[in-house]
Amino acid sequence: MTRFFVTAEDMQPEFLVLTGENAKHAKVLRLKEGEEVLVCDGQGQECICAVSDVSEGQISLVVRHRQASQTEAAVRVSVYMAFPKADKLEHVIQKATELGAHEIVAFPSARCVSRPDEKSLKKKVERWQKIAASAAEQSGRGVIPEILVLASYKDALKRASQADKGILFYENERAVTLKMSLQTGNYRTISLLTGPEGGLEPGEVQLAREAGLDICTLGKRILRCETAPLCALSAIMYHVGEF
């Protein structure tokens, strides 16, 4: 069933209207009266609707059934990533969305080579949010992960440590595995943090430890900064029973 995202305000109880990009998309698909579509608010609520009218730039829908999204993970995983170079963040946003991340949070750290300046940031976040929306639609999700940018590494630690479980992956950690970390405690929310190309500094790792995060290895091989969060996210989704 074709999936459309609307704002939470546009999710009316009985009748919905698709406009703008959604109407254009519906036209491309040649939607006809009587056909069923899925409309999501991008926050986990969705409804199955029937097309009642197709006009220029506007598709009218009748709500048939409301439900919580069927494709969201039971555990909410937030992916915290130190700003990487170039288009790697876009890659991670697209893939982490497919893999079921609840939100994606970018932050600066000591060895970050690239960090967007204040001026360009607004446009970039808009672009990143669109990438997440597109990946959410394609993968059949009911939630569009929010893309957040924090001002400092300390802000990232503070926010990440509010999850039931916070995990930082560090290439020099040998003893503590992700499996060990996941085997203790009850958690409905997980934050996972990974560093930039040059890695995290020992002092930064120490700060994470003090903030209550588990410091874990991702194995004996050195993963690129864009591979690490996706590998960890895949393993976490596997661990919590998603597949």
Chain contacts with its own copies (rule: CB under 8 A): 70-71, 95, 98-100, 138-141, 177-179, 216-224, 227, 230-232, 234-235, 237-239, 241-243
**CB of 9 vs its own copies, minimal distance in Å:** 26
Q: How far is the CB of 226 from its own copies (least distance, A)?
A: 9
* Nearer to its own copies (CB atom), residue 40 or residue 61: 40
* Helix 228-239 and helix 88-98, axial crossing angle in degrees, nearest 10: 10
**Token pair recorded at residue 56:** 């220029």
| Closer of 8 and 74 to its own copies (Cβ) | 74
Q: How far is the CB of 14 from its own copies (least distance, A)?
A: 28
Query: What is the closest distance, in whole angstroms, from the C-beta atom of residue 175 to its own copies in the complex?
Result: 12
Cβ at position 234, least distance to its own copies in Å: 4
**What does the alpha-carbon distance between residue 19 and residue 15 come to, in Å, rounded to a whole number?**
13
d(CA 120, CA 219): 36
Nearest Cα neighbor of 190 from 155, 223, 214 is 214
Closest to its own copies by CB, 94 or 153? 94
- Largest Cα separation within the chain, whole Å, is 62
State how far the alpha carbon of 56 is from the alpha carbons of 16, 19, 23, 62, 127, in Å: 16, 9, 8, 18, 28
Complex with its own copies: residue 82 or 232, whichever CB lies closer = 232
Question: How far, in Å, CA of 160 to CA of 163, rounded?
Answer: 6
Specify the residue, 193 or 216, whose C-beta has the smaller distance to its own copies.
216
Residue (141 or 159) nearer to its own copies, CB: 141
Least Å from the CB of residue 169 to its own copies: 9
Phi-psi group of 187: left, alpha or beta (phi > 0 → left; psi -120 to 50 → alpha; rest → beta): beta
> Minimum distance from CB of 97 to its own copies (Å)?
9
Distance CA 61, CA 51 (A): 5
Pick the closest to residue 150 from 103, 201, 102 (CA basis): 103
- Helices of type H across 34-152: 88-98, 118-139
Which amino acid makes up residue 134?
S
